[in-house]
Amino acid sequence: MSIAQIMKPNPGARIHIRKFAIAAAAIAVCLLAGTAVWRNPVVDSALTAVAGRGDLTAQLTVTGVLRPAQSITYRSPLGGREAEIIELVPEGTRVGEGDLLVRLDTTELQREVERGRQDVRQSALELQVAEIERREAEAALAGVSDGEGALSVDEIRTRLQIAEKRVDRLRREHEQLAPLFEKGYITRDELKRTADELEQSEQEAALARRRADVVTKLSHPHERQRASLLLAQKQSALESTRAKAADATARLKLLRQQVDECRIYARRAGLVVYEEFLSANPRRKIRAGDRVTGSQGIVTIPEVSRMLVEGSVSEPEVHRVRRGQTALVRVEAFPDLRLTARVVRVGSLARSSADRPFDDKRFDVIVELDSPAPELLPEMSARADLIVGTRSGVVLLPSSAIFDEQGEPVVHVVRTYGVETRPVEVGESSETLVEIVHGVNEGERVMLIDPGRSATGPAGSAAGRTDRGRAGSREAPNLRRR
């Protein structure tokens, strides 16, 4: 076959080439359409969020109950004595300082007060008698020491001195007469008469001396000692009577005070709460007509003008809480109520539940409301959102966009070629937002649902998004942080 015959066009071959070209073009169009579909996945924009940059106020939620900052329990002032409640303010009443709370029966006390008045009058009379007797004993001692007794001693001493002087005089006379008798100037009788007088005066002087010794050394000291003892006895009796009178007066004062205290008034403003009646079986609240002692609480007045939220935080979160931090308090009974507060105490020791000792340990947190609302009551459930930090100009995502995968936080980033699951490092968080430290850039779009889960329809997707959002608001603070 010649070359010319080979190069000559064949109509059948041209038809085959045209069909091949059309098929190739159709395949190329299909490939391009498939690539377009693959490169642009269909994602509902309502189920995605865009990472943006902004400011974040980090919060930590503490749940607990409302407690009064201070409570005062009022009891009977009568100690071990029983008294009947005859008047009782209704429970739940808001009282002010000085309002009457309880009135106890004082019939028996009034009778004791009357007996106490009689005892006081009797002790006053006895005190007067004891005082008179003491004065008499004091006068007797003074009489012995400085009065009649002292005068008797002085008289005896004077008589002794006179007797001794007479003896001296007669002795000198006898001595002078003796030489005259020897010379014959006087008779023997005259000398003897002088000697007899001397002897008699000496005997009288000796008797006076003995009498003086008895009085000064025996009688007078004994009388003085007896008078001193009598005065001491009267003084002791006076002190005893005086103490008895003071006791009677003090007891009367106490009885009158107890009568006054049987009308119990509020020392602070607050809400009246009845105590349980310990003697009742089964237990019930106290009421008028019950007989109570000092050990039985009657009413308790919580100081509702100062309210606290008592809650706790987990051990990994306690380092974020400090005294003085501000908080926003919400009460379950009043969902629309928002109250400002501040942290006043953070527990220094961890505690665990007695019946679940292996659970996570927790630390007590006390938050005080700045201005409690009048409708708040003790024991109401409350929630305090503590402001634990702020971030400025950081990348933020909704907390519902953060998922947990094998214990690590991840996000599902929407890319042009599909959805990429990417681990992230989170920082602070609020109720709805989470700070993204690493893993997502500003402007990237992430999914708010887990693409690995099959959606059951619009309602199911919305429900899943809501649950995930709530979980994220609670769990985000526990994720890995810087």
Going from N- to C-terminal start, the domains of the chain cover 46-66+304-478, 74-104+264-300, 109-261
> Is 408 in contact with 480 (CB distance < 8 Å)?
yes
Buried b (16+ CB within 10 A) or exposed e, 342-351: bbeebeeeee
CATH architecture of 109-261: Orthogonal Bundle (1.10)
- Rounded CA separation 277/134 (Å): 56
User: What is the percent of the chain where pLDDT is above 90?
Assistant: 43
- Residue-level pLDDT at 358: 65
Examine the pLDDT at 199 and tell me if it is beyond 70. Answer: yes
Band (pLDDT 50/70/90 cuts) for residue 41 is low
Examine the pLDDT at 110 and tell me if it is beyond 60. Answer: yes
CATH architecture of 74-104+264-300: Beta Barrel (2.40)
Band (pLDDT 50/70/90 cuts) for residue 460 is very low
- Residue-level pLDDT at 210: 85
Q: Which residue has the higher pLDDT, 248 or 184?
A: 248
- Digit-coded pLDDT (tens) for 111-164: 999 999 999 999 999 999 999 998 988 888 887 777 676 777 788 888 888 888
- Residue from 424, 419, 421, 439 nearest 476 by CA: 424
Distances from the Cα of 383 to the Cα of 68, 248, 327, angstroms: 16, 59, 10
- Digit-coded pLDDT (tens) for 48-99: 999 999 998 888 889 999 999 889 999 999 887 899 999 999 998 989 999 9
- Digit-coded pLDDT (tens) for 369-424: 998 888 888 889 999 999 888 888 999 999 999 999 888 999 999 988 889 999 99
- Residue-level pLDDT at 151: 76
The domain made up of 46-66+304-478 is a member of CATH 3.90.79.10: no
